[in-house]
Structure 1
Amino acid sequence: MLSFTYKEQIMESLKTNNQIEAESLSAVRMPRMLPLKEVIYFTGLSSTTIYDMLDKKSNRYDPTFPIQVKLSKGRVAWVESEVAQWLGEKIAARAH
């Protein structure tokens, strides 16, 4: 005599597969994207300064500043973790 019916075995298998899928999805984190307004807020920099830091021809150019991601025509954003890392590096580099 089997402890599970065929239907119960299938249901248990589906439950296990769904748990595995849910765990896999939770392990994949989508990066949070920051629009310019939020980058301005978090860094305290103006939009002009931010774009100057990205411009290789500018005397304010900073190759360590995160590069924006083009999301669509006329729409860009920055990866939050990259902005946070850049800020962390600036904090760590300050003289004590």
Structure 2
Amino acid sequence: MKLIRIKDVIERTGLGRSTVYKYMNLGLFPKSVNLTSRAVAWVESEVDAWIQNSIECRDTEDN
């Protein structure tokens, strides 16, 4: 299991930092994991699954 930091999340998803946190608070994006009192990361596989789900939703809407 690999953890990725916000920079990688932004690069993978194309979302901005504030949007990542907004979606996370709305339950639309995976929750972060606290590493220290000032550092967080996300589980890579959960972010990848979110991306895959977004693609599947897009493909379903197209049909």
TM-score range, shorter-chain basis?
0.7 to 0.9
TM-score normalised over the length of structure 2 = 0.88
Opposite residue 8 of structure 2, the aligned amino acid is E
Q: Secondary structure at the match of 1:77?
A: strand
Opposite residue 81 of structure 1, the aligned amino acid is S
For residue 57 of structure 2, what is the aligned residue in structure 1? 93
Q: CA RMSD in A?
A: 0.9
For residue 44 of structure 1, what is the aligned residue in structure 2? 14
Matched length: 60
d(CA) in 2 for partners of 1:66 and 1:48? 14
d(CA) in 2 for partners of 1:82 and 1:54? 12
Q: Which protein is bigger by CA-based radius of gyration?
A: 1
- Displacement of 1:52 in angstroms is 1.0
TM-score normalised over the length of structure 1 = 0.59
Tell me, which stretches of 5 or more residues in structure 2 are unaligned? none
- Displacement of 1:64 in angstroms is 3.5
Higher RCO (CA < 8 A, seq sep 6+):
2
